[in-house]
Structures are given as C-alpha cells and as structure tokens.
Amino acid sequence: MWDILVSYCSDALLITGSFLSLTFAIGLLRFPDFYTRMHAAGVSDTLCAGLIVLGLVLQAGISLVTLKLLFILLFLWFTSPTASFALARAAHRAGYRVSEQEEVASSNS
C-alpha cells in the first residue's frame, strides 16, 4: 500500500516536472524579449529540476543515491540562479533593454 502511494507520488512529481519544463521551453521560444525568456529559463532550472530530482528521490528510497540526489539539488539551487543572474546582468551591461512593446503597454496603462 505504502509502496504504491510512494510510486504514485514520484510519478506525479516526474510528470509535473517534465510538463512544466516543456511549457517553459515553449516560453523560451515564444516570449518577446531577452528578459522574459531569461525568466522562463531561470524558473525552469530551479522548479523543474527540483520536482524531477524529488521524484527520483522518492523512487530511490533511503539510500546513498538519495543523498547524492539531494546534493545535486542543493548545488543546482545554488548555481542556476547565479547563472541566470550573471546572464541577465551581462545582457543589461551589453545594452539589452526590455522590448518596445512592453514599454508601450506599460505607458498606456
């Protein structure tokens, strides 16, 4: 009974993670300018990776593998926001600004 519950939970986490990462990938392609795309990529890095790793942790049970997976998660949560930040900052320094459309929309409202 317990096993089945855990395996369902893990499946749910994996599927949610994969689905979200697919939507973020679409967002990455469809969003209008650099910063909104960055946003899609950055969020998928932490959220989807988190969900998928947690799903795998549930499948692995309590073992050394689980510990390693949790370490991977920890490192991902440290490094991927840093990478997103560095990328956004570099873009800002290079002179990329929020797209025209966005500015027009905000000035109209």
Residue 42 CB, nearest distance to another protein (Å)? 14
Alpha helices in the chain (DSSP H): 2-30, 34-43, 49-60, 64-93, 100-108
* Cβ-based nearer residue to another protein, 8 or 85: 85
Residue 89 CB, nearest distance to another protein (Å)? 8
Residues 50-89 that bind another protein (CB under 8 A): 75, 78-79, 82, 85-86, 89
- What is the C-alpha to C-alpha distance for residues 85 and 50, in angstroms, rounded to an integer? 19
- What is the C-alpha to C-alpha distance for residues 21 and 26, in angstroms, rounded to an integer? 9
Residue 71 CB, nearest distance to another protein (Å)? 9
